[in-house]
Structure 1
């Protein structure tokens, strides 16, 4: 399972550990991913995602899962999130 946020696309970053003697060794910075269940109000269903804590705050700040998915570009979303986004657009067009 890859360490990528399904809603924001945030993944691992590479950097250095720097010692007191200024020796540099490679290291990896991983996002803080959590398994969460988010509720879609328009579809009246809940969906499980693996989301970074930063992404979770962003979703709540933008008014919930529905608004976040409709505003976010497709290249950042995972395949499961894109599927939910397509369902949202279909439900929005039917209403």
Structure 2
């Protein structure tokens, strides 16, 4: 019997100018300044997580959006992704 590949459990994934969250695709603006503004807004919203609608969930989404345009943020995201993958394989 042939073993099937286990399903990937990526909750958030980048696909070009869109983010796929739990299987739903969200389009991002095509212009760089607009993407940076949206990413910064999400990071600032994550800082104010004590407010009812805003929460810590906004911080990683903002960093993910900023990683499209900034190399340094992209490196942080990739390192975190690699560490998370290694941790999941061990468990």
Q: Say yes or no: TM over 0.5.
A: no
Q: Which has the higher contact order (CA 8 A, sep 6+)?
A: 1
Kindly indicate which of the two structures has a greater share of residues assigned to strand: 1
TM-score range, shorter chain: 0.3 to 0.5
Radius of gyration: which is bigger?
A: 1
Scaled by the length of structure 1, the TM-score of the pair is 0.33
